[in-house]
Structure 1
Amino acid sequence: MTEPRRRFQTFDDPGHRKGPERIAALRAALREAGVDGFVVPRADEHQSEYVPADAERLAWLTGFTGSAGTAVILTDAAALVVDGRYTLQAPAQVDTGVVSVVPLAETSAEAWIGEHLGRDRVLGYDPWLHTPDGIARLERAVAKAGGSLRALPENPVDSCWAGRPKPPSGQVVAQPESLAGEGAEDKLARVRAALVADSCDALVISDPHNLAWAFNLRGSDVGHTPLALGYAILPREGRARLYLVSGDIDPALRAALDPIAEIGARLDLDEGIAALSGARVRLDGATGAVALKERVESAGGTVDVGKDPITAMKAVKNAAEIAGTREAHRRDGASVVRFLAWLDGAAARGDLTEITAVEALENFRAEGGDLRDVSFPTISGSGANGAIVHYRVTRETNRAVRPGELFLVDSGAQYPDGTTDITRTLAIGEPTAEMRDRYTRVLQGHVAISRAVFPKGTNGAQIDGFARLPLWRAGLDFDHGTGHGVGAFLSVHEGPQRIAKTGTVALEPGMILSNEPGYYAAGRYGIRIENLVLVEPREVPGSERPVLGFETLTLAPYDRRLIDASLLEPGERAWIDAYHARVREALSPLLDAPTRGWLEAATEPLGA
């Protein structure tokens, strides 16, 4: 394998166990600001999943590197509230003698504040890092404690952060219409029609994903997602105005947007908002900061906090985006199969570690062509590390992959024509009967989603249980959603669609989601199996209403060594065999002879 031109992942832990002195410095800054505590969410001013380096305040302060969590730092207590994905990871990264790790399932950040803030004490917050709904929840929590809430003009974490990175400045480029499938002018016309229907005069686009989709642009301001950070103001009539953090605008993009939009600097946003006097302005409830709301109101505008209509439009992929995504998965599948074949050899030689696996997989993807980034840091977990749902290997935690263990690798890539996300769990040596039982139950749930047929209007919550039923029968479950939405050369975690107990949005043809049930034996092993699926219309003879189903996009074999075929029903076995035949047919032309031979063996019919 040749080395890629650049590495997309590093294995340093940027704040591990450095919490005590940093939290002490923050408490000193809070005393100077005249407050008794401060809320530190894992967020930037757009509520993004992946944030620029200068917004990684929670990781710098506590050492916790997960993608979601909230720290509350008081003068005499501190807590980090995390969801079920991070209940194992957070205590391993945070000094729990200084910061208590609180599972969200037991106590929310607001409930913890209500119990610990104390009467007449002041809790500070950064108005750029919270939405209006989030602030309303904080206000209720603070009121319960008998305290008060105060917006701070400057984030006190920043004053403590020596060597804080500079804001991003990557180039902003055009996404070709051949891949986008629709011109920016036509997209904006659809958005304006939605504003008219909602009696709004303008939209403040605060989500960089929506900015990228609506204006057919891409950037590199954050890792793993091709975003240009910034905002846009879209009036019902007239040119839109973009306010981008980076000033490096590709001339071709500037020329393409010139008829429909002005491009300015992020620093000019306040000036643009000042022009909204008298306007009814839609602000996205999920990503619009309370600071934006306050600025619109100060300018004399009326804020309508609701849904940015772009979010729903972006979720439904058009024909060009679907075609590109299929092709990206074909190339990616070939790279993953090369990796899986290599992995078997490396494991047999005994020279496989979690980090060498990550590096090898990235190399294979780079050799496959058009790799722009990984779509998230690869989860490469052997043995007990595989039970940490969002485990991220570092040089400190890296371990050898040993015989008798399971190895879980969850990875994805960003290509100009599509975004991928795939998880495979692999046996290293001889698996135990329990491992095979649990793997097969997870696979049965995965296949149940793949085979699902459902009436139009069905939401993700209504089919989430399909993936859990085989585990429930054995008294088992998993503590994350079954599937998340995925973008088209955009975020690997895209809303509003999802397959989860909280998935209330109806699934529509053109939506792409993950299908990833799992099982986690804490301290021993983890199992997860993931493909991406496309919602598509289905013809059902005699159907009395429109029916939908899923096309599986991901192409890579399951580990037959972990399948207990005696647990499978005939329909499940037939689906797995048909999927393996499809994988073999689609990928064999892209592989060399030795890898084709490995794939043929890996995709033999069950029982053969």
Structure 2
Amino acid sequence: MFQRFTETASPQPGPARLAALRAELDREGLDGFIIPRADAHQGEYVAPRDERLSWLTGFTGSAGWCVALRDRAGVFVDGRYRVQVKRQVADVFTPVDWPETSLADWIGQALPSGAVGFDPWLLSVEQFRGLTDKLDGVEIRRCANLVDRIWADQPAPPCGKVIVQPVDLAGEAHGDKIARLAADLGKARGAILTLPDSIAWLLNIRGSDIPRNPVPHGFAILHADATVDLFMDPAKLTDLGDHLGARVRCHAPDAFAGAVAALEGPVRIDPASCPVAVADALAGKPVEAPDPCLLPKARKNTVELDGARAAHLRDAAAMVRFLAWLDATAPGTLTEIAVVKRLEEERRATNALRDISFETIAGSGPDGAIVHYRVTEATDRPLASGELLLVDSGGQYVDGTTDITRTIAIGPAGDAERDAFTRVLKGVIALSRLRFPEGLAGRDIDPFARLALWEAGLDYGHGTGHGVGAYLSVHEGPARIARTGTVPLEPGMILSNEPGFYREGAFGIRIENLIVVQEAPPLPGQTVPRMLSFETLTLVPIDLRLIDPELLTTAEREWLNAYHATVAKRVGPLVEGPAQEWLKAACRAI
């Protein structure tokens, strides 16, 4: 559970490792090799064994690519990691802004002809298609994983124990889920599942193969006859008893490829998450459709929503105790690591924490401008008066997953910081108050979170919101609030609401609450058949010292005051002493 503060990868060996990789290119007769941050299960999070991108380049972000050619090597990162990648990669690697520059465009310009290899277990069908459709003179060739060949001390595959997620927390028996999804397969006689959280949700199990995410590694085939073949190391399953039942047949992982090859009739795959190697093994042409678990998993049932509310209330009390301590102690001699440790202590003190939901981000001053900053012993810096502290953190509880960001003033704040903070807050409030017609997607409402920043010529380079699981992955698809969010929002979906602003070398600001989509009560004279709105799950004060009240409208001030009144009423009875007094002051009306 404890967060680590040492780097798992270092950029110093980068040149030697890149040279070793290029020697493997010579042996294979290749001109390049593609290294994604991915594993065979195609989820967002990977085990230490699969941190190939980090091991080779030094870049530790949660998304990215490297394309290593004979004369150059590009590291592709999105807007969250533009500052971070400059700090981490050796100068033999060139940062590339992605997706503004695609892998295909970069390869096409750097390599007019030749062959670039890739591990077919690590690219999805959709990713492979995106490369081959754009590259005419370059062959994209399947091959063994060349990084694995040179990674002498590569960790072993994870083998964490699998436990039952009981129906009183899941809200639906796994046999009923299997039958419901099997009935919706249409003409397909089966569907291949590779995403760890899909399999965990479908079978009402949880695991420990991925740090901070309670999911097991495995593969599954959902059949139209409402049975499932599960391919998972039997050593993981010893604590399940008879939970899986007769509907689920268990097999060793090495039987998966053969079982895929033996499938008859139309088989459904999700091109976004099905590895090329799996599609290659199918005897016939697959039916392409989204993973059948994605939308049902995202639409939380009433039991899961009640669990999320309970988890957020418990987590809020821990956050309030932490913030009260921080205000009483900072700056003093506190450093970023001390902040992270104290926050984890408060969550552990609930006696309900299973794990933190991701490595805590505690960025002070310029470190706050690194969107996904993770403090290490090498980067740890003291908190200083006049700076901002950005803390993004969360907890994994059996009844819910939390994710919250608060930006805190350490001493007096400057006018530029207060202006930017208030504009970010206006974005949070805009989404929180929003009513919108059913059928809209995240991209349709994302501009509401940015409008106040745009009016000042400002913006942020990440999405406004991601889905969140029910004691599952803290990042969950398919819906998101972003320019790329095309999945319509539906009641029961839990999303983050987290606009921000970052000034490189100076400060970072982000305010994040989790929200759940709900049906909005009809308005007098309403002509739209059905409208949706959001319930805010997160119940933690927002730093009033960083707000410029003159920038808020009357409606925005009323929302903020009502929110803080709710926080004080709900969380106040759960804390005592100095924390309770701090909460009263932090929730005062403005």
TM-score (norm 1): 0.95
Which residue number corresponds to residue 267 of structure 1?
254
Shift of residue 13, structure 1, vs aligned partner: 4.4
Partners of 1:275 and 1:173 in 2: how far apart? 30
Match of 1:188, SS state, is helix
Partners of 1:200 and 1:176 in 2: how far apart? 30
Shift of residue 304, structure 1, vs aligned partner: 1.4
Residue of structure 2 aligned with 1:303, choices 286, 295, 298: 286
Which residue number corresponds to residue 543 of structure 2?
559
Q: Is 1:201–1:235's contact at 8 Å kept on the other side of the alignment? A: yes
Aligned residues: 588
Which residue number corresponds to residue 258 of structure 1?
245
Partners of 1:580 and 1:341 in 2: how far apart? 15
Partners of 2:451 and 2:550 in 1: how far apart? 17
Shift of residue 193, structure 1, vs aligned partner: 1.4
Deviation string 1:368-391 (CA, Å, 9 cap, x unpaired) is 122111111111101111011111
Which residue number corresponds to residue 573 of structure 1?
557
Partners of 1:258 and 1:498 in 2: how far apart? 35
Which residue number corresponds to residue 152 of structure 2?
162
Which residue number corresponds to residue 41 of structure 1?
36
User: How is 1:122-521 mapped onto 2 (pairs within 5 angstroms)?
Assistant: 122-143=115-136, 146-152=137-143, 154-196=144-186, 199-237=187-225, 239-245=227-233, 247-251=235-239, 253-276=240-263, 278-296=264-282, 300-348=283-331, 350-521=332-503
Name the stretch that deviates more: 11-20 or 568-577: 11-20
2:63 matches 1:68:
yes
Question: Aligned AA for 2:140?
Answer: L
Shift of residue 137, structure 1, vs aligned partner: 2.0
Which residue number corresponds to residue 102 of structure 2?
108
Match of 1:241, SS state, is strand
Deviation string 1:320-345 (CA, Å, 9 cap, x unpaired) is 00000000000000001111111112
Deviation string 1:87-141 (CA, Å, 9 cap, x unpaired) is 1100110012x1100111541111110011232x211000000111211222234
Q: Is 2:108–2:138's contact at 8 Å kept on the other side of the alignment? A: no
Question: Aligned AA for 1:101?
Answer: P
Match of 2:421, SS state, is helix
Partners of 2:323 and 2:226 in 1: how far apart? 53
Q: Is 1:326–1:553's contact at 8 Å kept on the other side of the alignment? A: yes
Partners of 2:562 and 2:34 in 1: how far apart? 51
2:540 matches 1:546:
no
Shift of residue 479, structure 1, vs aligned partner: 1.1
Shift of residue 11, structure 1, vs aligned partner: 3.3
Match of 2:353, SS state, is coil
Partners of 1:254 and 1:550 in 2: how far apart? 40
Partners of 1:425 and 1:124 in 2: how far apart? 44
Deviation string 1:348-383 (CA, Å, 9 cap, x unpaired) is 4x1111111111111110111221111111111011
Partners of 2:139 and 2:579 in 1: how far apart? 64
Question: Aligned AA for 1:66?
Answer: G
Match of 1:394, SS state, is coil
Shift of residue 17, structure 1, vs aligned partner: 2.9
Which residue number corresponds to residue 3 of structure 1?
none
Question: Aligned AA for 2:260?
Answer: I
Runs of 4+ in 1 over 4 A off after TM superposition: none
Shift of residue 246, structure 1, vs aligned partner: 5.8
Question: Aligned AA for 2:165?
Answer: Q
Deviation string 1:45-91 (CA, Å, 9 cap, x unpaired) is 12222101110000000000001111000111110011111111001
Partners of 2:212 and 2:431 in 1: how far apart? 27
Q: 1:238 to 1:180 in 2, by over 3 A?
A: closer
Partners of 1:405 and 1:492 in 2: how far apart? 28
Match of 1:368, SS state, is coil
Q: Is 2:228–2:249's contact at 8 Å kept on the other side of the alignment? A: yes
Identity %: 49
User: How is 1:6-85 mapped onto 2 (pairs within 5 angstroms)?
Assistant: 6-85=1-80
Question: Aligned AA for 1:279?
Answer: G
Match of 1:87, SS state, is helix
Deviation string 1:552-579 (CA, Å, 9 cap, x unpaired) is 0001000010011111111100111111
Q: Is 1:284–1:307's contact at 8 Å kept on the other side of the alignment? A: yes
Question: Aligned AA for 2:308?
Answer: T
Shift of residue 476, structure 1, vs aligned partner: 0.9
Q: Is 1:279–1:302's contact at 8 Å kept on the other side of the alignment? A: no
Deviation string 1:411-463 (CA, Å, 9 cap, x unpaired) is 11111000000000010110011111110111011000000011111211111
Name the stretch that deviates more: 235-244 or 64-73: 235-244
Match of 1:519, SS state, is strand
Shift of residue 254, structure 1, vs aligned partner: 4.2
Q: Is 1:535–1:550's contact at 8 Å kept on the other side of the alignment? A: yes
Question: Aligned AA for 1:194?
Answer: D
Partners of 1:318 and 1:77 in 2: how far apart? 50
Partners of 1:577 and 1:500 in 2: how far apart? 27
Q: Is 2:489–2:517's contact at 8 Å kept on the other side of the alignment? A: yes
TM-score (norm 2): 0.98
Match of 1:24, SS state, is helix
Match of 2:24, SS state, is helix
Partners of 2:27 and 2:190 in 1: how far apart? 40
Unaligned segments of structure 2, at least 5 residues: none
Q: 1:254 to 1:238 in 2, by over 3 A?
A: farther
Partners of 1:555 and 1:344 in 2: how far apart? 18
Structure 1 vs Structure 2 CA RMSD:
1.3
Name the stretch that deviates more: 76-85 or 536-545: 536-545
Partners of 2:433 and 2:238 in 1: how far apart? 44
Q: Is 1:312–1:496's contact at 8 Å kept on the other side of the alignment? A: yes
Question: Aligned AA for 1:166?
Answer: A
Partners of 1:511 and 1:59 in 2: how far apart? 32
Question: Aligned AA for 1:220?
Answer: S
Partners of 1:139 and 1:117 in 2: how far apart? 14
Name the stretch that deviates more: 366-375 or 51-60: 366-375
